[in-house]
């Protein structure tokens, strides 16, 4: 998915039209920038006129009359052009950054709305690439690329116009050379584009390799595969070297070729011009101005073709970014729901009904978007508010599915999930999510302090509230071990803490949120028994009167649940209380016996 091939070749207007909505928002930036670019370019190409004037009026007649005035005018002109230059860079940078700002924000907001299933199959690095570097490429193209294009094109047009006015006959010679040079440049640029795409792809693979090499360094050391990794990397890097040199070789051929075409034009010009001057059909001054133009037309041709090929590659960026923004949000609030309850960003909290915590599965059939088999079929279950539901089963048996559906991280393929008796699709997602306390098996912490991480559960909580929540689940012991206490940094993703410590903090985070529905997905798998025991009472006290889903391997955690669901191969094979299930002699009682065989008999 990550290294998909870029497929477009030629320029496509349709692609660029997708950006129209941003252009509309930026009229105030774009127009002044455009005007500045046109005026400054026009002024720039008028410079040789001054030279010609000087030659005709001072050099040839051999007089200095009016020279100071000329110098003054020239100077004033330079000041104008200089000011234009300053404005140009400033305005264009503003355009580039503003459009980047708008596109990045839209992408980010859309990513916030996209369902979990989308995030599951798209790697973070790939999405970051779209939000950051692809956007940057578009911004750069729209500002510098377009202005360069306009500048180069205008320079060409002005130069050709001046030359036509000066001497149509000589201009004709250049007119023949320019298209030839253009063709050569275009031909090479297209070849270069193909190679540079390869280089870009290799580049992202190299970034990926660094990422993996660094994140996996502990594992690499324990397996003693540092040299294996380095060897593999060296191969990848050598491939990059080959492609880069190929890329440079094409460039190295193209530039001198186009340049020497220009020189050939110059030599023809000189020959024809010399003859014309000797026949007194042409002024010295005209010839010299002409030569200046001949030199200055070659470079813009190279630019134009360069920019055009860059535009094609920026187009790929547009394709990716608009592709991301156009990704369908499969779990979305309906317009009626948004009308009444507001959306994720503008909630209408005043219209929200309080969440009691009743969850009902009504004939739910479900399969994962990328799966082939149905995980649930015609599943019905009524969970009254305040029920503790434990889900038991083998690793990978699909225990999280029920939770994912209840939390509306996924929606049923058919059937309904009801919250407090109403289809959850008739409420906004935020309404439900604001009422969840979710503790995951792989607890994710954000970089920042312990205090900040717990406060994520309730942003307006005071320090005292945070500490109280931490104490309830013994997360304060983590802070106590740190010299900085609650102000201690947890590191990237909570890296500086052990898994057990991270679990305690994410537990405190959920407790602080004080939600009517709790989800504990292996929340204490890495916490030692004594600490678990310590917080057990607090947990059961907290869960009283709230609906909770508990996924756990430790039977001690499960035995007290009001309802136990036993999952096998993605199906619910047993349901009931601890006593009922033991009595029925099914899978659950076998599980229980397995532990007895292990020697830990109940006391």
Question: β-pairing, 376-383 with 436-439?
Answer: unpaired
Q: In the β-sheet with 422-423, what is the strand arrangement from edge to edge?
A: 376-383, 359-366, 414-419, 422-423
What tokens does 507 get? 């537990």
Q: Count of residues binding another protein (CB under 8 A)?
A: 184
For residue 426, state whether it binds another protein (rule: CB under 8 A): no
Three-class HEC string of 497-512: CCHHHHHHHHHHHHHH
Residue 49 to residue 55: CA distance in whole angstroms: 10
In the complex with another protein, which residue's Cβ is closer, 15 or 174?
Answer: 174
State the nearest-atom distance from the C-beta of 561 to another protein, in Å.
Answer: 12
Query: Rounded to an integer, what is the distance from CA 123 to the centroid of its chain?
Result: 10
| C-beta of residue 414 within 8 angstroms of C-beta of residue 365 | yes
Residue 104 to residue 112: CA distance in whole angstroms: 12
Segment interacting with another protein, rule: CB under 8 A, options 112-120, 153-161, 189-197, 309-317: 112-120
State the nearest-atom distance from the C-beta of 545 to another protein, in Å.
Answer: 21
| C-beta of residue 475 within 8 angstroms of C-beta of residue 528 | no
Q: Which of residues 516-535 bind another protein (CB under 8 A)?
A: 519, 522, 525-531, 533
Q: Which residue from 9, 11, 210, 349 is in contact with another protein, where contact means CB under 8 A?
A: 210
Segment interacting with another protein, rule: CB under 8 A, options 311-319, 412-420, 452-460, 539-547: 452-460
DSSP one-letter string for 441-479: SS----SSBHHHHHHTTSTT--HHHHHHHHHHTTTHHHH
Helix (H, G, I), strand (E, B) or coil at 263: helix
In the complex with another protein, which residue's Cβ is closer, 467 or 478?
Answer: 478
For residue 25, state whether it binds another protein (rule: CB under 8 A): no
For residue 395, state whether it binds another protein (rule: CB under 8 A): yes
Each residue 44-63 as x (binds another protein by CB under 8 A) or -, in order, gives: ---x--xx--xx--xxxxxx
Residue 480 to residue 531: CA distance in whole angstroms: 15
In the complex with another protein, which residue's Cβ is closer, 344 or 449?
Answer: 344
In the complex with another protein, which residue's Cβ is closer, 183 or 245?
Answer: 245
* CA-to-CA separations, 280 to 51, 275, 285, in angstroms, rounded: 20, 9, 12
For tokens 């779990």, the residue is 331
State the nearest-atom distance from the C-beta of 363 to another protein, in Å.
Answer: 26
In the complex with another protein, which residue's Cβ is closer, 385 or 500?
Answer: 500
Segment interacting with another protein, rule: CB under 8 A, options 160-168, 185-193, 382-390, 500-508: 500-508
Each residue 269-288 as x (binds another protein by CB under 8 A) or -, in order, gives: -xx--xx-xx-----x--xx
State the nearest-atom distance from the C-beta of 209 to another protein, in Å.
Answer: 7
In the complex with another protein, which residue's Cβ is closer, 157 or 255?
Answer: 255
For residue 313, state whether it binds another protein (rule: CB under 8 A): no
Segment interacting with another protein, rule: CB under 8 A, options 146-154, 184-192, 357-365, 427-435: 427-435
Q: Which helix (H) or strand (E) holds 391?
A: strand 388-393
Q: Which residue from 153, 291, 338, 418 is in contact with another protein, where contact means CB under 8 A?
A: 291
State the nearest-atom distance from the C-beta of 555 to another protein, in Å.
Answer: 5
For residue 252, state whether it binds another protein (rule: CB under 8 A): yes
Q: In this structure, how many other beta carbons lie within 10 angstroms of the beta carbon of residue 255?
A: 14
Q: Which residue from 215, 351, 363, 544 is in contact with another protein, where contact means CB under 8 A?
A: 215
Query: Rounded to an integer, what is the distance from CA 224 to the centroid of its chain?
Result: 34
Q: Which residue from 217, 330, 334, 584 is in contact with another protein, where contact means CB under 8 A?
A: 217
Helix (H, G, I), strand (E, B) or coil at 415: strand
Q: Which of residues 541-600 bind another protein (CB under 8 A)?
A: 553-556, 559, 591, 594-595, 597-600
Q: Which residue from 42, 117, 198, 244 is in contact with another protein, where contact means CB under 8 A?
A: 244
In the complex with another protein, which residue's Cβ is closer, 273 or 412?
Answer: 273
State the nearest-atom distance from the C-beta of 11 to another protein, in Å.
Answer: 26
Q: Which of residues 314-343 bind another protein (CB under 8 A)?
A: none
Q: Which of residues 87-106 bind another protein (CB under 8 A)?
A: 87-90, 92-94, 96-98, 100-101, 104-105
For residue 418, state whether it binds another protein (rule: CB under 8 A): no
CA dihedral 265, 271, 275, 281 (to 10 degrees): 20
Residue 457 to residue 461: CA distance in whole angstroms: 9
Among candidates 51, 46, 40, 50, which has minimal Cα distance to 81? 40
Residue 586 to residue 528: CA distance in whole angstroms: 30
Among candidates 140, 147, 161, 153, which has minimal Cα distance to 302? 153
In the complex with another protein, which residue's Cβ is closer, 389 or 430?
Answer: 430
For residue 353, state whether it binds another protein (rule: CB under 8 A): no
Among candidates 568, 552, 461, which has minimal Cα distance to 510? 461
Q: Which residue from 172, 264, 281, 329 is in contact with another protein, where contact means CB under 8 A?
A: 264
Three-class HEC string of 166-218: HCHHHHHHHHHHHHHHHHHHHHHHHHHHHHHHHHHHHHHHHHHHHHHHHHCHH
Q: Which residue from 38, 117, 157, 209 is in contact with another protein, where contact means CB under 8 A?
A: 209
Q: Which residue from 12, 344, 365, 449 is in contact with another protein, where contact means CB under 8 A?
A: 344
For residue 602, state whether it binds another protein (rule: CB under 8 A): yes
What tokens does 229 get? 């990794």
Q: Which of residues 454-473 bind another protein (CB under 8 A)?
A: 456-457, 459
Segment interacting with another protein, rule: CB under 8 A, options 9-17, 349-357, 419-427, 431-439: 431-439
Q: Which helix (H) or strand (E) holds 279?
A: none
């Amino acid at each position: 998915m990550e290294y998909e091939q870029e497929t477009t070749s030629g320029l496509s207007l349709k692609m660029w039209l997708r950006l129209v909505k941003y252009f509309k928002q930026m009229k105030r930036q774009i127009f002044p920038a455009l005007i500045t670019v046109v005026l400054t370019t026009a002024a720039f190409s008028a410079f040789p006129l001054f030279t010609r004037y000087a030659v005709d009026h001072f050099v040839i007649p051999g007089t200095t009359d009016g020279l100071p005035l000329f110098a003054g005018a020239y100077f004033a002109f330079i000041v104008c052009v200089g000011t234009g230059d300053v404005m140009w860079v400033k305005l264009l940078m503003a355009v580039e950054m503003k459009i980047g700002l708008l596109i990045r924000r839209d992408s980010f907001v859309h990513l916030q709305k996209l369902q979990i299933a989308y995030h599951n199959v798209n790697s973070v690095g790939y999405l970051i690439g779209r939000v950051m570097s692809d956007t940057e490429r578009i911004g750069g193209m729209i500002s510098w690329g377009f202005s360069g294009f306009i500048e180069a094109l205008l320079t060409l047009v002005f130069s050709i116009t001046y030359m036509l006015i000066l001497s149509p006959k000589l201009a004709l010679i250049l007119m023949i050379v320019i298209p030839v040079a253009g063709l050569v440049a275009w031909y090479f640029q297209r070849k270069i584009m193909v190679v540079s795409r390869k280089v870009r792809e290799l580049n992202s693979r190299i970034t990926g390799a660094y990422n993996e090499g660094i994140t996996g360094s502990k594992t690499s050391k324990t397996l003693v595969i540092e040299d294996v990794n380095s060897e593999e990397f060296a191969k990848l890097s050598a491939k990059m070297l080959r492609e880069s040199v190929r890329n440079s070789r094409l460039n190295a051929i193209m530039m001198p070729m186009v340049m020497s075409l220009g020189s050939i034009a110059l030599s023809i010009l000189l020959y024809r011009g010399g003859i014309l001057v000797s026949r007194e059909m042409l002024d010295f001054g005209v010839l010299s101005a002409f030569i200046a133009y001949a030199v200055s037309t070659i470079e813009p041709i190279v630019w134009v073709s360069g920019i055009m090929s860059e535009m094609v590659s920026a187009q790929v960026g547009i394709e990716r970014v608009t592709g991301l923004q156009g990704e369908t949000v499969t779990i979305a609030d309906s317009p009626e729901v948004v009308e009444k309850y507001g959306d994720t960003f503008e909630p209408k909290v005043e219209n929200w009904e309080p969440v009691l915590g009743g969850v009902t599965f009504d004939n739910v059939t479900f399969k994962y978007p990328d799966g082939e088999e149905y995980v649930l079929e015609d599943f019905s279950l009524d969970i009254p508010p305040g029920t503790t539901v434990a889900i038991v089963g083998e690793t990978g048996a699909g225990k999280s599915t029920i939770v994912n559906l209840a939390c509306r991280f996924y929606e049923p393929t058919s059937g309904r999930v009801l919250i407090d008796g109403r289809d959850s699709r008739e409420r906004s997602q935020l309404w439900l999510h604001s009422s969840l306390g979710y503790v995951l098996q792989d607890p994710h912490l954000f970089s920042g302090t312990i205090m900040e991480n717990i406060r994520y559960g309730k942003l307006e909580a005071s320090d005292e509230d945070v500490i109280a929540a931490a104490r309830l689940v013994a997360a304060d012991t983590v802070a106590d071990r740190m010299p900085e206490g609650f102000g201690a940094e947890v590191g990237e993703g909570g890296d500086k803490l052990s898994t057990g410590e991270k679990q305690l903090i994410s537990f405190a985070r959920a407790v602080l949120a004080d939600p009517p529905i709790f989800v504990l997905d292996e929340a204490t798998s890495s916490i030692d028994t004594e600490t678990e025991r310590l917080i057990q009472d607090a947990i059961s006290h907290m869960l009283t009167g709230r609906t909770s889903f508990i996924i756990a391997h430790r039977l001690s955690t499960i035995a007290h649940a009001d309802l136990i669901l036993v999952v096998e191969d993605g199906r619910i094979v047993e349901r009931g209380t601890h006593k009922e299930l033991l009595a029925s002699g099914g899978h659950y009682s076998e599980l229980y016996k397995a532990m007895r065989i292990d020697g830990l008999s109940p006391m």
